Amino acid sequence: MQKTSARLLALLSLLQTRRDWSGDDLAGRLGITPRTVRRDIDRLRELGYPVRATKGPSGGYRLDAGAHLPPLLFDDGQAVALALALRSAATDETIGEDAARALVAVRQVMPSRLRRRIDTLRVTAVRPRGAGSASPVVTQILAELGRVIHAREELRFDYGDDAAGVAGVAGAAGAVGAAGVSRAAGAVGRPRRVQPHHLVTWRGRWYLVAWDLDRDDWRTFRADRIRPRTPTGPRFTPRELPGEDVAAFVAGRFRGTDGSTTDWPCRGEVVLGLPAEAVAPFARDGIVEELGPDRCRLTLGSWSWTGLATTIGHFDADIQIIGPPELTGAFAELAARYAAAAAGRIQVSPGSTPAP
């Protein structure tokens, strides 16, 4: 039979792996009697672990959440995974400081063999170009947003703005006019009233997905601009998001759709005078088909026809437009605009007003 200390650690490890255990199952896994299991459960309770007895033919046990976080037991794989997750999280602008402190605490109690594995890994956060400088979100705000989502309580908040933030949202969305990405115009206005549904991350920023009660539509709010008001509102019944799930909804919103699909609202097809291997690395989620040693077919999507034509022009190659006609029109408009710019003239688009 194992020594008492080793047996307690083994018992704690089993209790952490699933919600409920019967006394007989624990006795069988540990090779001890049910009476010894009961004694060991009492010892764990004396050490501060909230083990609750459950009813059943042979009785059962459950490790509940307590008022304080007791010591936890991890195997080697779990400990390494936790440390790697904390090291990655330490590069985050929102929770980086807390993650770094947690990593120090975890590393201190690791065996030397595991510490060496962790110390060989260095993580550097590389921000995508054009992402702007994201304002860090106060951890308490994220916690409050998570609480009201879980409690299904209506939320009132002030929604601020800054010039860098607007550019950042446009860059993250890939479009200035991405549908459903809420932005305040300058100063904080009247409080927003929403039914909060999901807290998500997208390209390094936190967003709240919520049903806007005043606009009667889904909206996506930057969490670093939210300043919650108290008290919160009444409870609500969650609504069903358009699309397959929250990931598909958010991806669709940032592509300029209503969130019910992840497809780009504008999709076209061209033949480029470049080999497929030269185009593929820069085609994002487009489809590249080889047509010969120096030609390929590219099917690509974007938030607008002008945006799509501009993206295709980045390849700096001969272009044959396959379709649709809207893409041809966008190329014609861009050609006229660029020709006017080259000639030093001001090209006025339909419906726009020339600058004085």
pLDDT per residue as tens digits for the range 24-38: 888 888 888 888 988
Per the structure block, which two tokens stand in for 326?
């809207």
Whether residue 167 is predicted with pLDDT greater than 80 in this model: the reply is no
- pLDDT, residue 129, reads 55
Q: Residue 61 class from Cβ within 10 Å (0-12 exposed, 13-18 middle, 19+ buried)?
A: buried
Task: Average the pLDDT over each of 177-186, 285-294, 330-339 and give the range with the smallest value.
Answer: 177-186
Locate tokens 């437009």: which residue? Answer: 321
Whether residue 162 is predicted with pLDDT greater than 60 in this model: the reply is no
**62 or 57, higher pLDDT:** 62
pTM as predicted: 0.51
Q: Strand order in 319-323's β-sheet?
A: 287-292, 295-302, 266-272, 319-323
- pLDDT, residue 93, reads 67
Per the structure block, which two tokens stand in for 10?
């083994």
- pLDDT, residue 277, reads 86
Q: Residue 294's closest CA among 283, 278, 282? A: 278
Per the structure block, which two tokens stand in for 278?
């030269």
Of the pLDDT bands very low, low, confident and very high (cuts 50, 70, 90), residue 164 is very low
Locate tokens 């990593």: which residue? Answer: 103
- pLDDT, residue 168, reads 34
Whether residue 315 is predicted with pLDDT greater than 70 in this model: the reply is yes
121-140 confidence digits (pLDDT tens): 666 655 555 455 545 566 78
Q: Residue 302's closest CA among 327, 337, 320, 332? A: 327
65 near 50, Cβ under 8 Å?
yes
- pLDDT, residue 95, reads 73
Whether residue 173 is predicted with pLDDT greater than 90 in this model: the reply is no
- pLDDT, residue 259, reads 66
- Looking at the DSSP bridge assignments, the partners of residue 200 are 207
**109 or 294, higher pLDDT:** 294
Kindly report the number of other CB atoms within 10 A of residue 274's CB atom.
19
Average pLDDT over residues 260-281: 85
pLDDT over 70, % of the chain? 76
CA–CA distance, 51 with 53 (Å, rounded to integer): 7
Residue length, the chain?
356
Average pLDDT over residues 35-54: 86
3-state secondary structure 194-251: EEEEEEEEECCEEEEEEEECCCCEEEEEEHHHEEECCCCCCECCCCCCCCCCHHHHHH
> Would strands 205-212 and 319-323 be described as parallel, antiparallel, or unpaired?
unpaired
180 near 200, Cβ under 8 Å?
no
Of the pLDDT bands very low, low, confident and very high (cuts 50, 70, 90), residue 79 is confident
190-224 confidence digits (pLDDT tens): 889 999 999 888 777 788 999 999 999 999 999 88
Average pLDDT over residues 145-160: 91
**178 or 286, higher pLDDT:** 286
89-125 confidence digits (pLDDT tens): 777 766 777 788 888 777 777 788 887 777 776 666 5
Residues with Cβ within 8 Å of 68's Cβ and at least 6 positions away in sequence, in order, are 48
Q: Residue 7's closest CA among 38, 53, 50? A: 38
